[in-house]
Amino acid sequence: MEFFKNHWKDILITMIGIACIALIMSTTCTSRRNDVLENNIKALNDTVKTYQLKNGELMYEKQGFIAEKKELEQYIGIKEKEVKDIEKKLGAALATISKLEGQINVDTLPMQDSVVHIQDTTIIHFYYSDNWLKMDGTTIYKDPFVCTTLNNMNMRVPVKVGTSVDNKWFVTTDNPYITFTSVEGANLEKAKPKRWSIGIQGGVGGIFGWGISGAQDGIVRSGWILGAGGYIGLGVTYKIVEF
């Protein structure tokens, strides 16, 4: 009782402090979850936008996601085991990941060729070359058969990929044959920790409260109890801060 009278202000301030910390952390977590939800709804409803930069390159842009590894397959079609395999090869955790899809569009190309006649067979060697695409092949004509073979085709595909501070993902290229149809990206978050746990507990703690006890003289007494001791048992725990 005397301890409570002398330290009740300290006990009260401590309890209020713990309550304030728990409230601030709960409010912060709730605000963060709302921000993530709002971002991902925006990303789900967004479509790929195309812009032309001053240097002539095309830029494709789309809002990215904020997700845990297990959510990537749902959002951008990348399985969690693929991410873990990449991290294993890198020897480090991923902070971001993106997935791009595109297509090659080639219209009529003005081929150059050389023709060789060998008796009743005509052999045509054709080729094409520009800054991005190189190809060559052979056509063999022997009446009534025609056989065309594409021997080689190489395409240079320079791209730049990045993300902005507000989680917009983009890819640019100056290759006129390439069109990006999908630009998906995500900032990876750590898995949410589990707060509740059950298990065997043990330690040393203080005891403070009101109680009733018997005495050797047979008189029942009541009053404030203050003490310390060890304990062990089965308990349920909620983690506020993990460190």
Tell me the average pLDDT across 51-76. Answer: 94
With beta carbons less than 8 A apart as the criterion, state whether 184 and 97 touch: no
In terms of pLDDT, which residue wins out, 216 or 135? 135
In terms of pLDDT, which residue wins out, 156 or 13? 156
Helices (H) and strands (E) in the chain, counts: 3, 13
With beta carbons less than 8 A apart as the criterion, state whether 149 and 171 touch: no
In terms of pLDDT, which residue wins out, 102 or 214? 102
Asked whether the CA dihedral 81, 84, 85, 86 is positive or negative, the reply is positive
pLDDT single digits (tens) 141-175: 988 899 999 999 999 999 999 999 999 999 999 99
* Length of the chain measured in residues: 243
The token duo for 83 is 């991410």
Tell the residue number behind the tokens 């290759």, with chain if given: 175
Residue 140 pLDDT > 60: yes
Collapsed DSSP state (helix, strand, coil) of residue 165 = coil
- Residue 169's contacts (CB-CB under 8 Å, 6 or more residues apart) are 61, 62, 63, 64, 98, 161, 162, 163, 183, 184, 185
